[in-house]
Structure 1
C-alpha cells in the first residue's frame, strides 16, 4: 500500500485541518495509507520520509528549520512525490528560498483579495493530468505568483481583473497549476484552495486527485527505470556556506 504524509499548520485562515481531512479522504479512496500530522517535526525523520510515496504540506507562512527542509528535499530527490495547494505549499516558509526552489514558485499577491471571480483556463499539453478537463470559473483569491520557468504549466488565469499597481502592465496568463521535477521526484502544485469549500469543488478536487496520483507514481517509475538521485543539493543557506 502506498504511503502519504499530510502535514498541516501555520496560518489557520486557510483551514488547513479541514483541507487535510478532504485530502486524506481522497487518498484513502485511492488505497493510500495516510498519516496526518500537525507538527513540522513530522519532517525530522529523513529515512522515514524516503519510505513514503507522497508528501503533502499544508503550512501557510511560518518558519521551518533548515534541516527539515533538507530532509523533505532529499526525500523528493530520491523519488517521493510532493504535492500541495494554495498558500499551504507556495506561501510556506517565506524566508526559505530552498523551499521555493523545490516547489516551483512563491505567492506575492492576490489583488482584490478573496471573492474575485475568474476563469481557470486548462492548458492542453503533453501532460495527461488535464485530459478531458474544461475551463471553469471560481470566486476566491486569485494568486499572483513568482514562478520557476522550468515548470510545466497545466492551467492559467488572466491578470489583471481588479485595480492595483499592476494594471498598466500587459495582460499576463498566470500559472494556476504546474508540475516540475526535483531529482527523480515529481512535484505538483495548484494555487486554488483558499478555504476548504474551494478544495471541495468537483473540478478542484479532481485536479488535486490527479496531481496526488501523478506525484506518487514517480517513485515506482524511477525505481523501475533504475534511476536514483542522492541529495547532492544540500540546501545550504548563504549564511551556512
Structure 2
C-alpha cells in the first residue's frame, strides 16, 4: 500500500482542512494510506522517505530551514510531490528553495475571485489529461512566475480581468505542470481556491491523475 502525507494549514481562506480531506479521500479510493498533519514539525519528526507522496496544502506561512531540508531531500530521493492552488503554489513566500522545487510561485490573481475563464488542455495525449476537454472555471485565475523547465499540460489565457498587466498583450499561463526534482516527480495544479472548486469533476480527475503520477 502506498503511503501519502498531507500537511495542511496556513491562511484559512483556502479552506486547507476541507481541501486536505478531499484529497485524502481521492487517495484512499486509490488504496493509499493517508496521514494528515496540521504542523510543519511533522517534516522534522517523521522519516519523510517512508512516504511515497507528500502533498503541501499550506498557503503562505513560514517554514524554517530545519523543516524544509528534509522535504527537499525526500523529494530529491524519490518521494513524489503534488498539490494545488495556493496550498502548494503560494506556500512559504520567502523560501526560494521551496519555490525552485515546486516550479513556480503565485504572484497575482487579477480580478480576484469570481473570474470566469477557460482552462485549455494542451497535452491531450498525456496520461494526466488524456480524454479531457477544455473547461470553464469561475474562481481566481492564477498568474504565476514559472520555471521554464516545467512540462505544461494545461493553460489559461490572460488577460481576462482588467489591470496594468494588459499592456503586455495576451499570454498563456500554465495551469497544470510537471517537473523533476532529483529522482522525485513534482505535479502542480493552480485550480482549487476553495473546497467547492476542488470538488469540480475536472479538478478531481486532474488531481487524482496528478497525485498518482507523482507517487514514487
TM range (shorter): over 0.9
Distance 1:164 1:107 in 2: 17
Larger radius of gyration: 1
Distance 1:73 1:201 in 2: 31
Distance 1:125 1:74 in 2: 32
SS of alignment partner, residue 132 of structure 1: coil
In the alignment, structure 2 segments of 5+ residues that lack a partner are none
The Cα offsets for residues 85-131 of structure 1, whole Å up to 9 and x where unpaired, read as 00000100000000000000000000000000000000126632111
The two structures, once aligned, show a CA RMSD in angstroms of 0.9
The Cα offsets for residues 10-44 of structure 1, whole Å up to 9 and x where unpaired, read as 00000000000100100000000000000011111
1:104-123 mapped onto 2 (5 Å cutoff): 104-123=103-122
Distance 1:155 1:115 in 2: 20
Distance 1:61 1:207 in 2: 23
TM-score under structure 2 length normalisation: 0.98
Is it true that 1:155 corresponds to 2:154 in the alignment?
yes
Mapped contact 2:156–2:175 kept (Cα < 8 A): yes
1:45: how far off? Answer: 3.5
How many residues are matched?
Answer: 216
Q: What residue in structure 2 maps to residue 228 of structure 1? A: none
1:210-225 mapped onto 2 (5 Å cutoff): 210-216=209-215, 219=216
Mapped contact 1:117–1:139 kept (Cα < 8 A): yes
Distance 1:165 1:41 in 2: 41
Mapped contact 2:3–2:32 kept (Cα < 8 A): yes
The Cα offsets for residues 44-74 of structure 1, whole Å up to 9 and x where unpaired, read as 136x101110000100000000121111010
Q: What residue in structure 2 maps to residue 174 of structure 1? A: 173
Is it true that 1:2 corresponds to 2:2 in the alignment?
yes
Moved over 3 A (4+): none
Distance 1:125 1:100 in 2: 27
SS of alignment partner, residue 128 of structure 1: coil
TM-score under structure 1 length normalisation: 0.88
Q: What residue in structure 2 maps to residue 16 of structure 1? A: 16
Shift in alpha-carbon separation, 1:102–1:126, aligned structure 2, 3 A? farther
Q: What residue in structure 1 maps to residue 78 of structure 2? A: 79
Q: What residue in structure 2 maps to residue 230 of structure 1? A: none
The Cα offsets for residues 201-232 of structure 1, whole Å up to 9 and x where unpaired, read as 0000100000000000xx3xxxxxxxxxxxxx
Mapped contact 2:184–2:214 kept (Cα < 8 A): yes
Distance 2:124 2:189 in 1: 16
In the alignment, structure 1 segments of 5+ residues that lack a partner are 220-241
Distance 1:11 1:124 in 2: 32
Mapped contact 2:124–2:131 kept (Cα < 8 A): no
